[in-house]
Amino acid sequence: MDDKDIVSLYWERSESAIAETDRKYRSLCMRIARNILNDNSDAEECTNDAYLAVWNNIPPKRPEHFAAFVCRIVKNLALKKYEYIHAVKRNPDAQVSFDELDGLADNTDIEKLCSSKELGEKISDFLQSERQVNRVVFVRRYWFFDSPKEIAKRCSMTENAVNALLMRMRNRLKEYLRKEGVFDE
Amino acid sequence: MNDFIVKGIDGIDDSLIEEAMNYKRTRKPIYIAAGAVAAIAVFSAVMLNILRITEPTVPTVDGGAQTDDSYSGGGTNYGEDGKIILSDAKVSFTGTAITAEEIREIIEREKVTIASFIRHETPGAGDINISLVGYSHLQTDNNTISLDFVTLPVFTEDRLIGEVTLFRYDGEIHYSPAAGGPGWEVKTGIFDQNPDSELAFVYVGQLSEYMIAPDNTVYGMWEGESPLDDVPDCYTKYATEYNTFSFNKMIADKNYVTVPADVSNITLQ
């Protein structure tokens, strides 16, 4: 079913809206949650919570990008859960993904220079200036928390190439954010 | 964990998330044992029963395939800055060059099957021309050209639509057609910009094909930086008689065969 039709079902308060969402996006939601939580049952709980949250948000919202809307909710719920789960259960891939980003900002005061919303816009601008494959690799790694191995498969690359590309992109992003005044000189 | 950066990335545009969600780079390289395909009723049957996968496929660009056994998968060296380290070695050659006679023989024999496959991936292609001359690739990991492989352009009246790679394997010459995907438009543009030039063809690392013009302009299949940008006089360094090709010279010499639009030996589903 088309995303717009699914959204319409939510607006009609039809219970089949959740069933259709589940049919189309369950595997994607589970994957996002599992990438963060590294646990099937936690991911399942998170996915089901996300459906409820979607139900509670539509209406009044009518998301233009429904898939991304659902993904965001799943991811946010998973990250909240992540904070409460013992470190040993965390997905090492997600943890490494976070660790890789640490090198981007070493100034503890950066939040005073730019809001996270503005930062999101700047990172979006940066990504739009990159080649499509670069954008995808970056977003799959740091938004979806896919492992380099999974990204390599998706993008027909090798893990080495993925890691090298990510390293170059982090360096370029760091430089870009510095020029944009997000970081102190 | 740097929460601020994570939150920033979390706030990127929805369109970027959906792009990454839906993206999957597809490639359509297929290896075919020469002489194995005759009149075939159903294309899927060709795939299942006739096509022989003879060795691993190493993709280079959308729709293309590197079939060079000199390819050093996993052997690419990266510097601390993440850039590929290119070999300083002199160009060397391996294998035995596929002769003009061998090319003509296999293409004349298999041209209809090759054209049928490529037409299937290129709706509305019309008459299809298969070049009888082509080029090998220099692999910059080790500056080696495997002469056992040669790539022949496949084109219509006005554009490149695919390639067929011939390769020696186990005492026979096999062929591998490739078509589909957006890469051919890019390559058509490169040929259009350099109609008379002997472009040099190289592979860099594990994924990327580059073409170098005699004026040292480097063309890649993607926009952006090239690992060859820092190589001074890279055309002289990498061009040999085996990995260079001029599109107009091939046309002027009439070094191609044509398969008319209504000729096919495969019924496609």
Q: CB distance from A108 to chain B under 8 Å?
A: no
**Nearest CB partner across the interface for B11, out of A116, A154, A158:** A116
For chain B, the straight-line distance linking the first and the last C-alpha, in angstroms and rounded, comes to: 52
Q: Is the ipTM of this complex over 0.85?
A: no
Give the residue among B264, B194, B238, B246 at the shortest CA–CA distance from B87.
B238
| Structure-model confidence comparison of residues B168 and B30, the more confident one | B168
**Nearest CB partner across the interface for B206, out of A123, A136, A161:** A161
Q: How confident is the model at residue B75 (pLDDT cuts 50, 70, 90)?
A: low
The pLDDT of residue B224 is 61
Binary contact (B17, A98; C-beta < 8 A) = no
pLDDT tens digit sequence for A84-134: 665 545 566 666 666 777 666 554 444 445 677 788 888 999 999 888 888
Average pLDDT, chain B: 77
The pLDDT of residue A92 is 62
Q: How confident is the model at residue B80 (pLDDT cuts 50, 70, 90)?
A: low
Give the residue among B159, B179, B44 at the shortest CA–CA distance from B114.
B179
**Which of B1, B3, B5 is the best residue to mutate to test the A interface, defined by the most A CB atoms within 10 Å of its own CB?**
B5
Query: How much is the average pLDDT of B243-262?
Result: 93
The pLDDT of residue B151 is 95
pLDDT tens digit sequence for A147-158: 888 888 888 777
Q: How far is CA A82 from CA A38, A54, A69, A90, in A?
A: 10, 20, 20, 7
Name the least confident of B72-76, B114-118, B213-217. B72-76
B82: pLDDT strictly greater than 90: no
**Which of A2, A141, A159, A160 is the best residue to mutate to test the B interface, defined by the most B CB atoms within 10 Å of its own CB?**
A160
Residues ≥6 apart with Cβ < 8 Å to B145: B70, B91, B92, B93, B94, B136, B137, B138, B139, B240, B242, B243
| Helical packing angle, B3-10 and A116-128, nearest 10° | 60
pLDDT tens digit sequence for A3-28: 999 999 999 988 899 999 999 999 88
Q: Which residues of B touch A102 (CB under 8 A)?
A: 1-2, 5
Pinpoint the alpha helices (H) of chain A: 3-11, 16-37, 40-57, 66-84, 92-102, 110-113, 116-128, 132-142, 148-154, 159-179
Binary contact (B27, A156; C-beta < 8 A) = yes
pTM value is 0.51
Query: How many residues in total does chain A contain?
Result: 185
Query: How much is the average pLDDT of B84-91?
Result: 84
Q: Which residues of A touch B207 (CB under 8 A)?
A: 156-158, 161
Q: CB distance from A121 to chain B under 8 Å?
A: yes
**Nearest CB partner across the interface for B223, out of A63, A121, A131:** A131
Give the residue among A71, A70, A143 at the shortest CA–CA distance from B12.
A143
The pLDDT of residue B2 is 59
CA of B227 vs chain A CAs: smallest distance (Å): 12
Rounded Cα distance between A67 and B169, Å, is 47
**Which of A124, A168, A180 is the best residue to mutate to test the B interface, defined by the most B CB atoms within 10 Å of its own CB?**
A124
Rounded Cα distance between B143 and B87, Å, is 6
B229: pLDDT strictly greater than 80: no
